[in-house]
Structure 1
């Protein structure tokens, strides 16, 4: 089968499916209606059935939206099985006024389509459909399809898959919840940083006291907190907490100009830290102050502040133990006594990172498949955003190779206004999936013959 020509034959249908899915406001967050989520679920199940998947069912797990599960049995006892993951729920659209068109009215843009969730992650649901259609429901491998309905808010797949290992047993899995460094650059994501949160609190006075009468001697809680937060980074902006792992990054990365544009850095301002961008973003730690409780400026009184609190988000090396990383930050904060004031430090949630083993037959097949899809050698990158479900699925199938690629790209505005996806990126993903399935089947067959 020629992946290019087969992808072209199914792409109009893929694009139409994507527009239908993107028109459904399947936000699975609390406070949003459940009916659109269920409508998206039913449409996904219907589309896979129409594409030729013989067994499709809905998994109704506790406290989450239904999961669409499909299965195509291997064509022979010796054929491998590939699991395909994506999700049909989306982020809330945010302020509708920030959108150039209504967020759930799929709107053509140059080279693509704009709508909430059209990239993250309905583009990858559509790409999986395209692969199944290209093979007319009879691929040369077994296929398990998992399309989740509540990934954006408390995924059940962080913990559920290891409790049902037979359902998720496979030889390789393609987790399609991300994409390329930039449009046209095929990218395998091989590392995910871990994530942790820590709360730090300071209490110094029973209540606010007049800054004129007491300021200068009465301990200022906000000043003590700011002093403590200032110890987390050195003069360059690098994390200064001992015990957090940092290594050089040898894979692909953004250029500084690309990163400045992606991050929306104000003109003339420096980037934080030293070393390569890959090292700062992916193979080293980051600590961000994501919340601060203190008197607001607009209503500030002339008083010494008696209480202040901050919430910190820690991102750490993909291979560092989550407890070890969180303990390093907690230990550092508890060791501080800014102006002699103790801090109350509370560890919160933490999640492991992930580093893929990239030397197996699935990765060799995927590198060639991505080159088929985009006409360029595949790059290896990482992401600073943790995707805990990867560890859940990997734990359910510990012998499987885990591949992360898909139709999104770094300019797609995922989780932001005016999210869009490019048709060429979706087509490239369909080509890559078609090619990967065939190449992996061939490699598995050669290995069987050699045995």
Structure 2
């Protein structure tokens, strides 16, 4: 269903017509953003992130509803003095006549494209195939940016002079740790203050069913260097008696999971909550299992993904096969990524994992921890008026009731929003679906989901524009 519900008010019907009429322009503008390779990682040209910020600022200025639209930067937290983060966009209009203020968040930076050969289309050339738009950032999260822009356009067209307060914060480094996020929020606290915060950076149950994200796991990532020898030695001369670092690393890593693949680290907790039905067959299809590969963990599939901790080794630095020689490796470094269940702080979980690794280091191996990052999990308070309003808008826009869902991924900065704006209600929505492949080759956006996400937000804003 792509129009407002039959029982909706005349303004809701006008909003639905404005969304439908503005959809081609929204898709075209999204395509223009996708063409800008705004990768925020250090190895990529930061000029493209700046170009992307300028493009987003122009789109927001073009709505004609804001008192000010600025491109701003803030100092990175924990970095050398004076080092600034990538540019973000901040727009603001004041509320009138007691109306609430809504802060809309998304990010305009993207993940690296990876190997172009793994893409069916060019990663930064937006391409429509069937009902999907392909390209890096087409969904994560430039579609979130454009959902905000298109919803504001539709609201302005349908409602005319707005009384709703609006703030828009489009970040420029979410994909690389949001290092300046805390300082940006503190620097611009007054401009960002709102009654409701909508974070458009999540997904939906499927292409026909919306979901409201009510739980997010926290995150902790770090480099672990395992050292056993002062230098490399001949593997034939000393192998079998001298412990090489790769042997120690493999044995140490194997202690992190039990025979089912569940995390086996004392001190890590799980969260108990009801979950919707989602069987292992759906898991295997959605996660692209190879034939014969079994799922890991215990409990319902959603509980494993949303409410239990997980640990993944995401990278290894050791001699490549091309450079392999008959030597005992003196040290190896791995990147470990841990997801933390709601209810436990990232710091507490990290200390439990560090304690486990230290206690289980084989052969007296030396351990070093570095490049540590983290963010706390989040549980949405579903008792507030904003949740009811948003779920009704989703129902009207999609023609089906939303699922309250958790997300296995993390949005660590939400904990910062909770700390800085404790009175604000925070909602997590999104434009993705199970086939989006965010962060992976062949990332894509379902255009029907895009339209319904825009309509959801436009209906919500229109109704809040009438709310005292």
TM-score (norm 2): 0.87
Partner of 1:20: 32
Q: Which runs of 5+ in 1 are unaligned?
A: 446-451
Structure 1 stretch displaced more, 101-110 or 214-223 = 214-223
| Residue ranges of structure 2 left out of the alignment (5+ in a row) | 1-10, 75-83
Q: Which residue in 2 is equivalent to 1:225?
A: 249
User: How far apart in 1 are the matches of 2:457 and 2:354?
Assistant: 43
Give, in angstroms, the shift of residue 141 of structure 1: 1.9
Determine if the alignment matches structure 1 residue 389 to structure 2 residue 376. Answer: no
In the alignment, is the contact (CA less than 8 A) between 1:224 and 1:341 conserved in 2? no
Alignment of 1:138-217 (within 5 A): 138-155=161-178, 156-217=180-241
Whether the 8 Å CA contact 2:57–2:71 is kept in 1: the answer is no
- Deviation sequence 1:168-224 (CA, Å, 0-9, x none): 111101111122132111011122211113444443333344444433333343323
Distance 1:394 1:92 in 2: 29
Match of 2:121 in 1: 101
**SS, match of residue 430 in structure 1:** helix
1:389 and 1:138 map into 2 onto residues whose CA distance is 33
Contact in 1 for aligned 2:220/2:373 (Cα 8 Å): yes
Cα RMSD after superposing both structures: 2.4
Deviation per residue, 1:97-122 (Å, 9 max, x gap) = 33223222222211132222111112
Mapped to 2, the partners of 1:199 and 1:429 lie a distance apart of 38
* Match of residue 73, structure 1, among 94, 107, 112: 94
TM-superposed deviation, 1:5: 2.8
* Alignment correspondent of 1:291: 315
Is the Cα contact below 8 Å between 2:216 and 2:407 reproduced in 1? Answer: yes
Aligned ranges 1:320-331 → 2 under 5 Å = 320-331=344-355
Residues 1:104 and 1:313: Cα distance change in structure 2 (over 3 Å) = closer
Please give the TM-score of this superposition, normalised by the length of structure 1: 0.90
Spell out, residue by residue over 1:4-42, the C-alpha distance to the aligned partner (whole angstroms, 9 max, x if none).
333223223222222222233333333434444333323
2:26 is paired with a residue of what secondary structure?
helix
Query: 2:431 matched to which residue of 1?
Result: 407
| 1:159/1:389 contact within 8 Å kept | no
Contact 1:160 1:392 in 2 (8 A): no
- Say whether the 8 Å CA contact 1:26–1:36 is kept in structure 2: yes
2:102 is aligned, of 75, 82, 85, to 82
Q: 1:328 to 1:129 in 2, by over 3 A?
A: same
TM-aligned CA deviation for residue 291 of structure 1: 2.8
> Alignment partner of 1:403: what SS?
strand
Structure 1 residues 124-133 or 217-226, which shifts more? 217-226
Q: Is the 8 A contact 1:132 1:138 kept in 2?
A: no
Question: Kindly tell me: are residues 116 and 216 of structure 1, through their superposed partners in 2, closer, same or farther at Cα, counting changes over 3 Å?
Answer: closer
CA contact (8 A) 1:10 1:134 kept: yes
| CA contact 2:113–2:123 (8 Å) conserved in 1 | yes
Q: 1:337 to 1:35 in 2, by over 3 A?
A: closer
For residues 125 and 229 of structure 2, the distance between their equivalents in structure 1, rounded to whole angstroms, comes to 54
Aligned partner of 1:265 among 289, 294, 310 = 289
Aligned residues: 442
Partner of residue 460, structure 2:
436
- More off after superposition, 61-70 vs 234-243: 61-70
Note if contact 1:253-1:381 (Cα within 8 Å) is conserved in structure 2: no
Deviation at 1:96, TM superposition (A): 2.4
Of 39, 57, 63, which residue of structure 1 is paired with 2:51?
Answer: 39
